[in-house]
């Protein structure tokens, strides 16, 4: 770090010569270029033309003073890549506290009284001001660049979000007509259909629903990612959430002869949750359990108070999750593939969405699993009211 150029603003030529000598003697740098401006106007002109490493302003500049000049350079934004004030040192007749304060407030780096000017002092003051300016300028440029990146990222975030909304809309529109035409045929509105046709049409309808869930999951995952998913909490009963989930998955479970068992203690306190979102979590966990439980298996849903939360568990009699995978199953797009013949459906977003939704409610979700015996998923939900302590 070397000071190579300096602008001295002073109306007296003899003072300039004296300063030039002093600077030479102070050994500021071997090839220091000192330029002189003899007036306020000339100083502004020179400063608009080029940058100097450092500036020395005499306080008295005739009609104006150094502070006027300082303020004017700020207004003209003489160095416009940064809003940091230029490294200006003001030289005054004496140490007048009011002038010093005003100078510093206007952005001067330092103030020296003429009678204190020495080679050593000058060297120190110049380099301190120069270093401070360089650091502040670098910091400011970095801040500006971070701000630019931040704005860009926010913009990209918005674009991604909007892309997914459009994608979801565009995918669902044809899906809607496909599904509705199938429903119309199934309801016999387009003429009689035979049993095989009915069976196949039901498959199409289910596939449409599967696609629709995938699209919703995709959109939810993006909204969770970009922090755009908001939850609306209200007190509600767990029973209602579980009933809703069971009702919506009963048929699928029955097809695999899977028994759904719910054992809830009486008088459970209300939970403070976004009912739609917790239903979604419950359905996701139930779907998962049904998917991995072989025909004729069993799924048990339990609940109980755990400290200041309600803990819900979903236990299946499926193939279990290997220990080494248990930490990752809540990560996005993570699916445990035990053998290549296992046909997994879904995007692998379900458990990730569950975790994020439970997190948004301030709860926890985890799994306990034994190979070939089954898995239990646990999650906690906040209570609408703190439990009354009994003594």
Partner 1 sequence: MKKIMIVEDDKFIVDALTARLKASGYQVFYALDPVIGLSIIVKEKPDVVLLDLNMPAGGGFLMAERVMRHPDLGPTPFIVLTASKLPQSRHKAAELGIKYFIEKPFESEELLATIRECLCENTTTDDSQVAN
Q: Is 187 near partner 1 (CB under 8 A)?
A: yes
Output the CA–CA distances (angstroms, integers) from residue 203 to 183, 185, 213, 284, in the order listed. 11, 13, 15, 21
**Nearest CB to partner 1, comparing residues 5 and 168:** 168
Q: To which H or E segment does residue 262 belong?
A: strand 259-263
Output the CA–CA distances (angstroms, integers) from residue 107 to 33, 68, 70, 94, 388, in the order listed. 24, 11, 7, 19, 61
CB contact at 8 A, 292 and 252: no
Output the CA–CA distances (angstroms, integers) from residue 266 to 182, 302, 326, 365, in the order listed. 43, 12, 32, 23
Q: Is 226 near partner 1 (CB under 8 A)?
A: no
Q: How far is the CB of 377 from partner 1 (least distance, A)?
A: 27
Q: What is the largest CA-CA distance in the chain?
A: 112
User: What CA–CA distance (Å, rounded) separates 157 from 226?
Assistant: 7
- Interface pick for partner 1 out of 38, 72, 134, 212 (rule CB under 8 A): 212
**Nearest CB to partner 1, comparing residues 64 and 181:** 181
Site size with partner 1, rule: CB under 8 A: 23
**Nearest CB to partner 1, comparing residues 29 and 168:** 168
**Nearest CB to partner 1, comparing residues 75 and 189:** 189
Q: How far is the CB of 152 from partner 1 (least distance, A)?
A: 23
**Nearest CB to partner 1, comparing residues 94 and 173:** 173
**Which pairing describes strands 309-316 and 298-306: parallel, antiparallel, or unpaired?**
antiparallel
**Nearest CB to partner 1, comparing residues 219 and 290:** 219
Cβ atoms < 10 Å from Cβ of 231:
13
- Interface pick for partner 1 out of 118, 144, 176, 370 (rule CB under 8 A): 176
**Nearest CB to partner 1, comparing residues 46 and 167:** 167
- Interface pick for partner 1 out of 179, 277, 279, 361 (rule CB under 8 A): 179
Output the CA–CA distances (angstroms, integers) from residue 85 to 125, 131, 132, 143, in the order listed. 16, 13, 11, 16
- Interface pick for partner 1 out of 79, 119, 137, 172 (rule CB under 8 A): 172
Find, among 319, 321, 245, the residue nearest to 276 by Cα: 245
User: What CA–CA distance (Å, rounded) separates 293 from 172?
Assistant: 30
Q: Is 263 near partner 1 (CB under 8 A)?
A: no
- Interface pick for partner 1 out of 2, 169, 256, 259 (rule CB under 8 A): 169
Between residue 189 and residue 208, which ones bind partner 1 under the rule CB under 8 A?
Answer: 189-190, 208
**Nearest CB to partner 1, comparing residues 170 and 254:** 170
Cβ atoms < 10 Å from Cβ of 107:
16
Between residue 27 and residue 46, which ones bind partner 1 under the rule CB under 8 A?
Answer: none
Q: Is 230 near partner 1 (CB under 8 A)?
A: yes
Sign of CA dihedral 219, 223, 224, 225: positive
Select from 21-29, 61-69, 186-194, 325-333 the region that touches partner 1 (CB under 8 A).
186-194
- Interface pick for partner 1 out of 181, 233, 302, 348 (rule CB under 8 A): 181
Q: Is 175 near partner 1 (CB under 8 A)?
A: yes
Between residue 126 and residue 165, which ones bind partner 1 under the rule CB under 8 A?
Answer: 165
Cβ atoms < 10 Å from Cβ of 90:
26
CA angle 105, 109, 111 (to 5 degrees): 85
Q: How far is the CB of 240 from partner 1 (least distance, A)?
A: 19
Q: Is 174 near partner 1 (CB under 8 A)?
A: yes
Q: Is 251 near partner 1 (CB under 8 A)?
A: no
User: What CA–CA distance (Å, rounded) separates 277 from 280?
Assistant: 5
CB contact at 8 A, 86 and 133: yes
Residues that bind partner 1 (CB under 8 A): 165, 168-169, 172-177, 179-181, 183-184, 187, 189-190, 208-209, 212, 216, 219, 230
């Amino acid at each position: 770090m070397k000071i190579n150029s300096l602008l001295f603003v002073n109306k007296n030529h003899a003072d300039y010569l004296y300063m030039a000598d002093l600077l030479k003697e102070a050994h500021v740098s071997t090839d220091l270029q000192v330029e002189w401006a003899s007036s306020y106007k000339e100083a502004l002109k020179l400063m608009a033309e080029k940058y100097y490493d450092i500036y020395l302003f005499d306080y008295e500049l005739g009609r104006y003073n150094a502070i006027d000049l300082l303020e004017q350079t700020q207004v003209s934004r003489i160095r416009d890549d940064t809003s940091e004030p230029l490294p200006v040192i003001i030289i005054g007749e004496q140490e007048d506290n009011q002038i010093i304060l005003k100078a510093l407030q206007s952005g001067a780096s330092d103030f020296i009284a003429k009678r204190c000017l020495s080679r050593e002092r000058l060297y120190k003051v110049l380099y301190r001001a120069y270093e401070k300016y360089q650091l502040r300028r670098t910091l400011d440029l970095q801040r500006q660049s971070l701000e630019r990146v931040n704005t860009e990222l926010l913009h990209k975030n918005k674009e991604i979000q909007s892309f997914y909304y459009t994608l979801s809309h565009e995918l669902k529109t044809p899906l809607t007509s496909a599904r509705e035409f199938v429903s119309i045929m199934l309801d016999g509105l387009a003429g009689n259909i035979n049993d095989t046709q009915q069976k196949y049409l039901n498959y199409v309808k289910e596939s449409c629903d599967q696609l629709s869930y995938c699209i919703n999951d995709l959109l939810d995952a993006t909204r969770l990612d970009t922090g755009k998913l908001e939850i609306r909490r209200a007190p509600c009963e767990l029973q209602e959430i579980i009933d809703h989930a069971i009702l919506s998955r009963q048929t699928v479970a029955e097809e695999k002869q899977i028994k759904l068992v719910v054992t809830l203690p009486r008088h459970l306190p209300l939970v403070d949750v976004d009912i739609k979102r917790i239903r979604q979590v419950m359905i996701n966990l139930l779907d998962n359990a049904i998917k991995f439980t072989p025909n004729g298996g069993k799924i048990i849903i339990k609940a109980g108070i755990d400290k200041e939360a309600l803990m819900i568990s979903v236990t299946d009699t499926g193939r279990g999750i290997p220990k080494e995978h248990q930490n990752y199953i809540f990560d996005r797009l993570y699916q445990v593939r035990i053998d290549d013949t296992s046909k997994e459906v879904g995007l692998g977003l379900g458990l990730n969405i569950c975790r994020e939704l439970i997190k948004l409610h301030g709860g926890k979700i985890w799994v306990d699993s034994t190979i070939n015996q089954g898995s239990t998923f646990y999650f906690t939900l906040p209570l609408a009211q703190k439990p009354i302590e009994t003594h």
